[in-house]
Amino acid sequence: MSHFLLVRNANQLLSLRGEGLRRGQAMSDLGMIRGGAVLIRNEKIVAVGPATRIERLPEARRAQEIDAKQGVVLPGFVDSHTHLVFPASRTNEYEMRIHGASYEEIARAGGGILASARKLRRLPAARLAERARRWLREFAAHGTTTVEVKSGYGLDLKSEIKMLEVVRQLNEEGPLELVATFLGAHAVPAEYRRKPERYVEMVIQQMIPAVAARSLAEFCDVFCDRGGFTLKQARAILKAGRVCGLEPRLHAEQLTRTGACQLGVELRAASVDHLEKIGRRDTRNLGKSDTVATLLPGATFHLGRSDYAPGRELIDGGAAVALASDFNPGTSPTYNMGMILSLACTQMGMTPGEAIVAATVNAAYSLRRADRVGSLEPGKQADVAIMKVPDYREMAYYFGANHCAMTIKRGRIIYRCAS
């Protein structure tokens, strides 16, 4: 039996309709409909357009009505880079940075990723899932409907599998849609510190085949940077992942320029992420490729740095830019995509419209899901966020706030603001 929802009374409806990755001027086209409405049947969108037309449709007359109260209606955010499953916060490192310790100094002292790995290996899967559910409720409450989730805090076969099985369980439970990425090459674990090539061999020969055999991930990622994995190691790992059906992604050019961005373009990676240290050649190459440039300003902000990725230059250079939260316990503990929009505008020179495109449809392309999420179009999943502001620019303008009034995932209300 069909169930209909009618989202009506929107001051601005941002459909983001259109074909292909958004670049250049297209990143400013929000497909805005003033006084718009969305008609939903079960999990899918049936019609989008001016309320005067949508409300006259026969199905609309028997739909459950949702009043947007002259707010902004847009696709649910697609958060395409997170480390959702982790054992505990790293507030001690936060204080260390305040006192002047660098990211690399904390890592050398046994903190950072390795500290999370030590705790995660000991924590039962049920406890990890319980913690992640808490965060997923917050993602939903801030208007996010699709979340990429990386492993990478296990750093051994058993623990990496445990993390990815937690992701699968949470995806099956819902309500949010989770996309799994294998990140066994997040750091070299302590036991392999003097023999990193042995760890790379284990990632290639044991971890990747095991993850692929269980269908636990869609993507394979590598932290290719100073203190992480070399360009040669990253190439070998990503090629091994592709052989097993895992599409490449890359942590690239965050701390220093390694050539990882160019490697991602060469391998036709779905996305290269961070990019704080890219050069002009990297920007040109991204502008000619279909590899998405995913920018993570939350990490730069939380680390107290000023070297934000060059969002304006990337857009002007023709790159397809996405935005994500990089939610993780060490460098970006935020699930608020509204705050990410604000940072993109004030620190990277993006306009509010470009930031919204980057956080929805372009992010969906980077996850190979643009055929069903990231825009409000007939036939796509009914993933909708309603913001309690009359103008979409206010979503970034009023920074640090939660503007979300309601979140709908696959036609079901999963969050409703109490006020």
CATH topology of domain 4-75+375-416: Urease, subunit C; domain 1 (2.30.40)
Q: Where in the chain is the domain with CATH 2.30.40.10?
A: 4-75+375-416
Q: Write the CA distances from 114 to 106, 154, 186, 187, 228, integer angstroms.
A: 10, 9, 9, 7, 12
| Region(s) of the chain under CATH 3.20.20.140 | 78-366
Over residues 324-336, mean pLDDT: 97
Higher-confidence residue: 227 or 76?
A: 76
Q: Say which amino acid occupies 118.
A: R
pLDDT digits (tens, 9 = 90+) for 300-323: 999 999 999 999 999 999 999 999
Burial group, residue 256, by CB count within 10 angstroms (0-12, 13-18, 19+):
exposed
Residue 1 has pLDDT above 80, yes or no: no
Report d(CA 292, CA 239) in Å as an integer.
19
Q: Across residues 361-375, what is the average pLDDT?
A: 98
**pLDDT score of 150 more than 90:** yes
Mean pLDDT to the nearest integer, 71-91: 97
- Tell me the chain's radius of gyration from C-alpha atoms: 21
Q: Which of 309, 343, 331 is nearest to 102 (CA)?
A: 331
350 pLDDT tier (thresholds 50, 70, 90): very high
- Domain 78-366 belongs to what topology? TIM Barrel (3.20.20)
State the pLDDT confidence band at 279, using cuts at 50, 70 and 90.
very high
Mean pLDDT of the chain: 97
Q: Are strands 144-150 and 177-185 parallel, antiparallel or unpaired?
A: parallel
Instruction: Answer yes or no: are the C-beta atoms of 40 and 15 closer than 8 Å.
Output: no
